[in-house]
Structure 1
């Protein structure tokens, strides 16, 4: 089972027009795809119009979107959340996803690739850690933090920050370790969340 690659979902948390998150997510996914320990699936929240109002009986179109996104999350064995920092926290689109889902996150590792101004999205990550704990997810310690990210990437979508690839590798190594450990634990004993 340890030789089976961990299914990693890279989630693009921002849906704003002109967002920089897709560039960062593609860069991170490119590094992840070079790692033999994972397979990568991108989940772009801009492609999943999740409703803002939670209804006990969602309309068929809403139910279809919910089913698609929850199935994609359920298949994943680890998550890398790419998030900007908006007003010292993370985007409403990401909060909406977290509020619509639950057991899809249970006993799975979550890592963060954050970006923003001088704080590099670090305050968004701190808020996300508490929400992930409520979802019974395990957040890993290392984070890829990109301060003034738009200044750190060339037109080719690759970073000019020499430290960023090493940070991405450290995050991937932790996600793979936890992904394998928690997959084995869930196989032996179903999670009682």
Structure 2
């Protein structure tokens, strides 16, 4: 029997005041409730990534900085990714873009999804993330989870600060659909590689 796909939930913010931990923990809970995958959190704070300063992407030339190599080794073992992202000026965080740029072959032919948060649920950031993912040869799935507007203010500390479970009936359908698609594509990609 093939092994279950292993999915990384990548926290894409490194700010001290970040909100990302809350949606990341909620998404991990949804993933762990499934029997067709395993999941764990990968926190960019745990990696001392420099700003990208290599000769090129590691598709063309091996990375020289040991911190970039450590990042590549850490993400290589996953079969798919869920990125937790805020929206900064209609895009993803600089820390997440830098982390994406620090690898290439490790992302290839693996599915990715996103959970975004902010005024418009990070819709523009998620769309930008999908275009970056295509260039990195990932497979972006159509569904995403967006925590925006009143829901965002209900759970954010600058708003009511409630638990995400208070709004999860607005999120579960998209989360379930996204996780299902990620599992399907991860299994398909693993079978093709096998």
Q: TM-score range by the shorter chain?
A: 0.7 to 0.9
Number of residue pairs matched by the alignment: 182
2:186 to 167, 174, 179: 179
Given the alignment of the two structures, is residue 160 of structure 1 paired with residue 162 of structure 2, yes or no? no
* Aligned partners of 2:92 and 2:126 also within 8 Å: yes
Q: TM-score, length-normalised on structure 1?
A: 0.87
What runs of 5+ residues in structure 1 fail to find an aligned partner? 188-193
Q: Distance in 1 between matches of 2:80 and 2:110?
A: 6
User: Contact 2:85–2:114 at 8 Å: present in 1 too?
Assistant: yes
* Change in CA separation of 1:185 and 1:26 when aligned onto 2, cut-off 3 Å: same
CA contact (8 A) 1:20 1:150 kept: no
The question of 1:137 aligning with 2:138 is answered yes
| Matched residue SS, 1:5 | coil
1:190 maps to none
- C-alpha displacement at 1:58, in angstroms? 7.7
- Unaligned residue ranges in structure 2 (runs of 5+): 56-61
Instruction: State how 1:13-162 maps to structure 2 within 5 Å.
Output: 13-55=12-54, 62-63=65-66, 65-117=67-119, 119-148=120-149, 149-152=152-155, 157-161=163-167, 162=169
- Considering fraction of residues, name the structure with more strand: 1
Runs in 1 of length 4+ with deviation above 2 angstroms?
55-59, 65-68, 152-159
